Chain A
Amino acid sequence: MTKRRNSGCNALEHHVTRRHFMGTGAMAGAMAGFGSLLTPAMAGEMKSKQKQILQVYLQGGVSQFESWDCKPGTKYGGPFRPISTSVPGMQICELLPYTAQKMHLLSVVRSINLETDDHTVGRLFMEKGRKNGDYPFVGAVASKYLTAADNPLPGYVHITTRGIVDQTAGFLGSKHEMMRLEGVKPPTNLERPKDLKPELAVRAESLRQQLNKQFGGKRSRALIDSYDTSFEQAQQLMARADLFEKQDEKELDRYGKHWFGRRCLLARTLLEQGVTCVKVTHHGYDTHAENFNFHVEQLDEFDKTFATLLGDIEERGMLDNVLVVIYSEFGRTPKVNHKYGRDHWGKSFSIALGGCGIQPGGVVGATNADGTEVSDREVDGAHLFHTYMQAVGIDSQSNHSLDGRAVPIGDPVAAPIKELLA
């Protein structure tokens, strides 16, 4: 395909976007509290009109051998055993006993080959569906096409503690940029300064708009939009600052009081409130050393929490409208190194997904006996991107309209994994 220049994404806009990102990211944490006000039924009703995405990103590259594609007793299989799941005939690793009981809600893709072992290349390919180019992430595309115009909440929120700051919206503009929350900590500067009276704040906003008009007279509209987006979202979130409250202790007992548990509970809240795409990062899978001990610890933390979140989404009747994806930037090497570690491996790894638009309980593709290569139905980030889009009702084979020019939403050389689509 022809690579399109991203005219809406110049350096200044990126600069503005970063400021917006940093400024409003903290504020979004203010939304944490009000989700608990909804009953499951209300949440389900509210969500009936909107397709949403929940991304659970296992940062660093979860091992496919220790999760979705066990190879017990083989040369590279490692020490763990497979267990049965709620889907007859489907087995996953014993480190995921709670998730195993939810596999009737998920499907597994075991045949991903990204042809890269690089964190950044792998991450961007899995998010953008393209190996190169300044294209928007899954969450940004969802934000643009699935978020109602009157939705006061950001379309794309990422709950994490650390991590790389990517430019996620590309040419879609800063309105659809990922808003990053620093875990579930209360945001700083959430409240209006006490000595700034409301009427003065109104006058300041009026002045800002007036200056915007003058500044933007002969300049790109994208610049002014970036500033406006930042201010609008900040104001909307500040208006709801009183709704920020501590997470419910009983709910935390269910989710786990560790950071990942708190993030997943916040993710549920944000989905209930109508955020289009919520991404939760669970860190700690780049296991070049002690792969097995780390997977015991990390997946133990992931498993029950994720299964609880998935169960809640289902119980609230939201799963028909929420696409759930558990993924990494790649998998881990078949060969175990001298540190009991597994290194980067993008040639044959797995993800799991389910919910909105996805046929549950299936396994797509396969790797060979030792897990060293894909043996059936090879796919890559482009196929997955198309599949996500189609699942939530976005025609990935159509185009973005960018100042009158057409930019394919999904990579035209790839297609959705049709057998996964409901």
Chain B
Amino acid sequence: MRQDEGKESTSQSESQAGEQDGQQVQQPAKPDPAKASEVKKFSHAEALTNCRLDPTGKYVFAGAEDFGVYRWDLETGEKVIYRGVHDSWVRRIDFSVDGKQILTSGWDGRIVVWDVEPESLKTVELPVEKDTDETTANSGEKSDGETKPEIERVVDSPVRVIEAHRGFSRWVHAGPRGKYIATCGNDKIVKLWDARRWKLKKEFVGHGRHPYAVMIHPDGESLVSEDLMGEIFIWNAKTGQRTRELKSVMTGFDNKFQADMGGARDMAFNADGSLLGCAGITNVVNSFAGQQDPIICIVDWQSKEITSHLRTKSNAAGIAWGVHFHPEGYVVGAMGNQNGKGTVEFWSLADEVEEPAEAKPMSEGCEDGASDDSADDKTEEKKPRDIKPFHVVEVDKAVRGLDFTADGRRFVIACSDGSLRIYDM
């Protein structure tokens, strides 16, 4: 159910409501994707580029096709603008491990650290737009009601600004143990930073094309990054060596226009780090028109092999912009389709619906000779399984970002029309 901006739905998901009758307390039902319904919606004037829920679930943050980062209070709908530092679009948002700070990476090459709840907010009164209707202007009549000036609540003092990359900073990820931050950018370098002082600890060089995303594994020992050519590199965080290279299907050469397109548009580990999800595109036909298939590749971390290809239900052309491992064990993805619409799709990795669509090279040994245990085990290559979703939530606009609350009962999506939509399930 879609609601007006900031208004809550009158019908909450039944499965969410735990009942309490004095002494007997029922366990709340498990979140059910089939019952996912939109309960709130916030709007912004420009298209959104991504979104993240803060770890407490109180706020949702989003980047936009302007130079701002926006915070909405999920209960009150209050909107706060973080601006004045980035002078390009913010593509990725993450949180410090304690959840008190947000990290934003922008195409200006910067990583900016902000307080989630800054001590003070500036209040800016926006100028009231004048009535430009000529008939009114010429008649000298005044409108009956006075227009109240709109108030902006602004954060313009960041905690820290890091000129992280020469060329755009495409990604920032705070490692789960709180010690390190990983970034990557159009200088083709993956960087590991000390999280407290933002001192550069190590650079990881080897991507031939622009890396789009990087994550620190939950064990803190490894990093994984993926570039435009769909090449997934696994790095030893201590030595800086590339220990593994996976060639994914997440790239394509547009023969008509003679250009490559691909790369991870989102990346996520599951809670124990046994699985990695990479969201993006495959089967490029005419990428300049957005004609390619969305895909999410699942990597088994132990074997370092791509084991599953998550396909959309409709096979609509588009891009997978979001991937998330739900606490209940399934995978959730967000799609922005070529036709301007979107979906949020749910896959069970236990399902197998289709035969593999095509045979593509999977894992290969790394070039520098370093290897991990599983790399030496040269058994017969397995083809990834093609899996179709068990449930789809249709969205009338392209979805560009996805995040869940920690309990997996609520998710938020950022859309191309500037809307931020909250779903409970």
Contact = CB atoms under 8 A, between A and B. Distances in A.
B305 interface: no
B261 A80 contact: no
B87 A73 contact: yes
Contact of A339 (B107, B254, B338): B338
Interface string A263-291: 00000000000000000000110111110
B398 A339 contact: yes
A271 to B, nearest CB: 23
A338 B256 contact: no
B261 A341 contact: no
Contacts of A81: 87-88, 108
B225 interface: no
A296 B66 CA distance: 18
B290 A284 contact: no
Contacts of B168: 79, 296
Size category of the A interface is 20 to 34
B352 interface: no
Interface string A297-311: 110000000000000
B257 A73 contact: no
A60 interface: yes
A294 B288 contact: yes
Contacts of B398: 338-339
Nearest to A338: B416
A73 B67 contact: yes
Contact of B338 (A60, A289, A294): A289
Q: How large is the interface on B (under 10, 10 to 19, 20 to 34, 35 or more residues)?
A: 20 to 34
A72 interface: yes
Contacts of A341: 288, 290
Contacts, number: 77
Main secondary structure of the interface of A (DSSP, over half): loop
Contacts of B319: 339
Contact of B340 (A79, A283, A338): A338
Interface string B242-266: 0000000000001011111100000
Contacts of A337: 340
A206 interface: no
B78 to A, nearest CB: 25
A161 interface: yes
B89 interface: yes
Nearest to B258: A283
A338 B259 contact: no
A244 interface: no
A80 B88 contact: yes
A161 B319 CA distance: 28
Given A290-B290, A336-B65, A296 B186 contact: yes
Contacts of B88: 79-81
A288 B65 contact: no
Given A336-B47, A339-B398, A288 B261 contact: no
Closest 10 pairs (CB-CB, A-B): A289-B290, A338-B416, A79-B89, A284-B257, A79-B107, A284-B259, A339-B290, A338-B398, A79-B88, A283-B258
Interface of A: 60, 72-73, 75, 78-81, 161-162, 259, 283-284, 286-290, 292-294, 296-298, 336-339, 341
10 contacts: A73-B66, A79-B65, A80-B107, A287-B288, A289-B287, A289-B290, A294-B288, A297-B228, A337-B340, A338-B397
